[in-house]
Amino acid sequence: MPEETQEPQEPQGSAPVAQEAQESAPAAGETQESAPAAGETQESAPAAGETQESAPAAGEAQESAPAAGAAAPSRRTVIALGGAGLALGAAVAGGAAALLARDGDTPVPVADSGAAVPFHGPHQAGIATAVQDRLHFAAFDVTTTDRAELVQLLKDWTRAAERMTAGAEVGEGAYGGLPEAPPDDTGEALGLKPSRLTLTIGFGPSLFDGRFGLKNKQPGALVELPKFPGDNLDPARSGGDLCVQACADDPQVAVHAIRNLARIGFGKVAVRWSQLGFGKTSSTTPDAQTPRNLFGFKDGTRNIAGTDTEGLARHVWVSGKDAEGPAAWMDGGSYLVARRIRMNVETWDRTPLAEQEDIFGRDKREGAPVGKAKEHDEPFLKAMKPDSHVRLAHPDTNAGATLLRRGYSFTDGTDGLGRLEAGLFFLAYQKDVRTGFIPVQTSLARADVLNEYIQHVGSALFAIPPGVRDKGDWWGRALFS
């Protein structure tokens, strides 16, 4: 697929023709020494006309130097070294922080796809973190009515998440225990690298319905989303008291994480719905290649960069007066909108190229906005059709509303009518949905010509609490304490 290849084991960088230049740069798991070589590669690339993407990617490869030197450990190695995985994660953070002077939400460089992302920090990982290749997202209903039990579960989950994101096994591991008893860890991630696994928890509006004494802590921004025109929401794929977003570069690692959390949660929570995603559709490293959605278009070119501290503070992280009163516990958190958007790929594929490009307001090859040459050229909205997707979604059309998107494509087989059950699992983070997703989606739902080819079939909103600060902290402490 036309994305950054993230296979550190294959530094040769595969290379479908036009992309070999930028692919070889970030692919380099073992490349810190060869970073200058990557530089040469980009210099040789201008002919491809896509240089601006490859250059910063190479920069990231350099940033990864301190960690990449050690090469990411396998899960067994991590265990054998006992905590070395965490130390390595710290090395990644330290190295990158030195270069970027960041405030704790340091993204692990894209190139370092086997590494561990630090779990602790002021914000949860998995938001500003460079988007990984794979997703397993799960929404849970809380089935216990006992607040103390729920709190204990959140603590248990936090401890398990600390271990799994570091590449370690849950509890006492996957083997070697009592032969008469099932092992603590399910074992399918044994021998795999941490794969930049991030686990991000969220709390849905329904958690604040009074069962757990949280009514007076529901932030004003944690609203029920309005019904948008054209929505065809399946309740069985919507809502949820809790969610966990698992992102990783290896699907097995993401699935293992959700499976083990679900297992720890049985009796206290029940999986309400879940979604697998296989191809990121946006990137928080927008200087790198923007990935394409299943319609074949680059969408999300203007996404907020994980390194854009100011943009994140303005649009993503809750703080200041937004973190007062009932929302005080949200200081450092964010709000996540999840939408399962079904794409009618068969009808789309029968649509003429010119019409496809008109619908998005971009050209298909380069992703350049109408009338421009390069993907990242500033779009001239008036040149686009008034009902084009990019024009309607653009911040300028929505009073500056800006979302951090980290959606994924999904394909859940076939739908029984022979059509691909596929689409976009849209995930967007923002500091307030009332000024973020809601105005944008209102304008899109009303007029977007793309609506002919898509349908929103699942929806959920979650308050994403701040990060877990250290070993003594846990997911949701500020809310429940």
The contact set with other proteins (CB under 8 A) reads 141, 143, 177-182, 236, 263, 266-268, 270
Report, in Å, the least distance between residue 148 CB and other proteins.
13
Task: State how beta strands 404-405 and 408-414 pair.
Answer: unpaired
Q: Which is nearer to other proteins, 180 or 310 (CB)?
A: 180
Q: Which is nearer to other proteins, 266 or 380 (CB)?
A: 266
Residues 140 and 198: their CA atoms lie apart, in Å, by 18
Q: Which is nearer to other proteins, 269 or 401 (CB)?
A: 269
Report, in Å, the least distance between residue 266 CB and other proteins.
4
Q: Which is nearer to other proteins, 28 or 258 (CB)?
A: 258
Report, in Å, the least distance between residue 53 CB and other proteins.
45
Q: Which is nearer to other proteins, 143 or 252 (CB)?
A: 143
Q: What are phi and psi of 17, to 5 degrees?
A: 10, -90
Neighbours of 225 (CB within 10 A): 18
Question: Can you read off the two tokens belonging to residue 231?
Answer: 């929505």
Are residues 64 and 109 in contact, defined by beta-carbon separation less than 8 angstroms?
yes
Are residues 391 and 361 in contact, defined by beta-carbon separation less than 8 angstroms?
yes
Cβ contacts of residue 332 below 8 Å, gap of 6+? 122, 123, 317, 318, 319, 323, 465, 466, 467
Report, in Å, the least distance between residue 454 CB and other proteins.
26
Report, in Å, the least distance between residue 237 CB and other proteins.
13
DSSP letters for 282-299? --S-TTSPPPB-TTS-B-
28: nearest Cα among 93, 91, 96, 110: 110
Q: Which is nearer to other proteins, 267 or 386 (CB)?
A: 267
Report, in Å, the least distance between residue 265 CB and other proteins.
9
One-letter-per-residue 3-state SS of 139-160: EEEECCCCHHHHHHHHHHHHHH
Handedness of CA 375, 381, 383, 385 (dihedral sign): positive
Q: What are phi and psi of 401, to 5 degrees?
A: -60, 125
CA 399 to chain centroid, in Å, comes to: 25
Q: Which is nearer to other proteins, 183 or 326 (CB)?
A: 183
